[in-house]
Amino acid sequence: MALLDVQNVSIEYTTEEGNLKAVDDVSFSLKIGESVGLVGESGCGKTTLAKSIMRLLAKNGRISEGKMLFKGEDLVTKNDEEIRKIRLKEIAMVAQSAMNALNPVQTVGDQLIDGIRIHTKMNRKEAMERSVEVFKMVGLEAKRLKSYPHQMSGGMKQRAIIAMALTLNPSLIIADEPTTALDVVVQDRILQQVVEIQKKIDSSMILITHDISVVSETCETIIVMYGGKIVEKASTKAFFTKPFHPYSLGLNNAFPSIHEIGEELISIPGAPPDLRQLQTGCRFNKRCPFRTELCIKELPPLEEVGPDHFSACHYNKDVEKFREASGHRETWEAVRERIIKELGSDAE
Ligand SMILES: Nc1ncnc2c1ncn2[C@@H]1O[C@H](COP(=O)(O)OP(=O)(O)OP(=O)(O)O)[C@@H](O)[C@H]1O
C-alpha cells in the first residue's frame, strides 16, 4: 500500500476576481521511505499542494475535488481534531522561512519540549532527553536548547525547526524550500542531513524546490508541475538522462552538465500561465517550441512512457526529435519571437 495516494485533487482559491484553480486534477502516490522532489516555477501550485496535505490552506483555499489517502484514510474528510493529531506525529512540515515561526520569547528547548508533550505521553524529563537527541541529529549542541531564537544564527534556527519536525519520527516529511533563506554551503549541508535522518527513521519525504539540481542529489523520484498540473513524473535517474516533456527539456537546459560549464545557459522564454484565467489545451503550449493546433485545443493526458515514468505531452512519441532540438538555442529563440508576435497581436 502507498503511504500517500493523491487522487484527482483540485484546489481552488476564491479571489475578488473570481476562482483561481491552483492545483488541477493532480494524482500521484508515494511509497514508504520514498523521497520525491516537487519542482516547477513559482506559482505552479507546489506550496498549495503541500499545504493541502497538512490541511493548512489559506482561508480562501479549498480542496474542491479528489482524495488524499494517507495510510488508507482520506485526509480531505478528516475533521480538525483528527487532522491536528496527524500533524507533526504522522506528517511534519518544514515550511518556507519556517524560522520566523519560532516564538521569540521562549527558549527553543521549551518550544520543542512543549511540542513533544502535546503529542505524546512523555514527561518533561523524557521530552528533554528526546530534544537533546534530535538536536544532535541535526548538528546542534544540546546547550543550544537554552537559547532564545535571537541568540541563534539563521542556519541554527532552521536546524532547530527541522529538529522540531523530526522529533516524533513522522512517516511523512514535507519540506517546502527548507533552506532557501540560507547561504548555499549551509543549505547543502542541512539538506544532506535532513535526507540522512529521513532515511534513518524510514520516513517518506516530499521536497519542494524550484532547483532541480537539489532534487538530483536528494530524491529518488521527481514530479514536475506546470500551471497547476503534473507534466512529468519519473525516477530522478530517468528524468536526468531521458526527460520527455518539453518543459522538462527546457528545465534540463538550465541544469548544466560538466561539459557545458562556462557556456551561457538556455532559459525558457515567457512566463507561466495566469491561473486566474480559464485554461485550455496544454498549459505549456505558449512556451513550447513543438506545439501544434492540437496542443492549443486539447489537454494532453499524463501517459506512461516507461516504467513508473509519465509525461503529459501529445507528442511523447516524438521525444527523440524534441531532445535533439531542445539543446539548440535557436529552438527557444523562435519561441521568444513567437511570444513577442502573439503579445503584439493580442494588444491590437
Ligand atoms: N491565498 C491565496 N489566494 C489566492 N491565490 C493564491 C493564494 N495562495 C496562492 N495563490 C495562487 O495560487 C497559485 C499557486 O501558488 P503556490 O504558492 O502554490 O505556487 P508555488 O509553486 O508554491 O510558488 P512558490 O515557489 O512561489 O511558492 C499562484 O497563482 C498563486 O498566486
Question: Which tens digits make up the pLDDT trace of 237-250?
Answer: 999 999 999 999 99
What is the best residue among 48, 174, 224 to mutate for testing ligand 1's pocket, by most ligand atoms within 8 Å of CB? 48
pLDDT at 131 over 70: yes
For residue 295, give Cα distances in angstroms to 288, 299, 301, 314. 9, 7, 11, 7
**All 3 cell numbers of residue 234?**
519519473
Q: Do 237 and 165 fall into the same domain?
A: no
Q: Do 213 and 269 fall into the same domain?
A: no
182 or 7: whose pLDDT is higher? 7
Q: Do 337 and 205 fall into the same domain?
A: no
Entry pTM: 0.91
Q: What is the mean pLDDT of the chain?
A: 90
Q: What is the pLDDT of residue 190?
A: 79
The Å distance, Cα 84 to ligand 1 centre, comes to: 23
What is the best residue among 10, 12, 19, 20 to mutate for testing ligand 1's pocket, by most ligand atoms within 8 Å of CB? 20
Q: Do 254 and 163 fall into the same domain?
A: no
% of the chain surpassing 70 pLDDT: 95
Among residues 161, 189, 219, the one where a domain terminates is 219
Here the CATH number for the domain that contains residue 45 is 3.40.50.300
Distance of alpha carbon 72 from alpha carbon 68, whole angstroms: 9
Per residue in 67-78, is it b (16+ CB within 10 Å) or e — as a string? bbbbeeeebbeb
The Å distance, Cα 104 to ligand 1 centre, comes to: 28
Distance of alpha carbon 220 from alpha carbon 309, whole angstroms: 12
Q: Do 186 and 237 fall into the same domain?
A: no
Q: What is the pLDDT of residue 130?
A: 92
- ipTM surpasses cut 0.90: yes
Q: Do 173 and 235 fall into the same domain?
A: no
**320-331 mean pLDDT:** 95
Q: Do 212 and 172 fall into the same domain?
A: yes
Q: Do 244 and 123 fall into the same domain?
A: no
Q: Do 245 and 298 fall into the same domain?
A: yes
pLDDT at 233 over 80: yes
Distance of alpha carbon 90 from alpha carbon 84, whole angstroms: 10
Q: Do 73 and 192 fall into the same domain?
A: yes
Domain extent at residue 262: 225-347
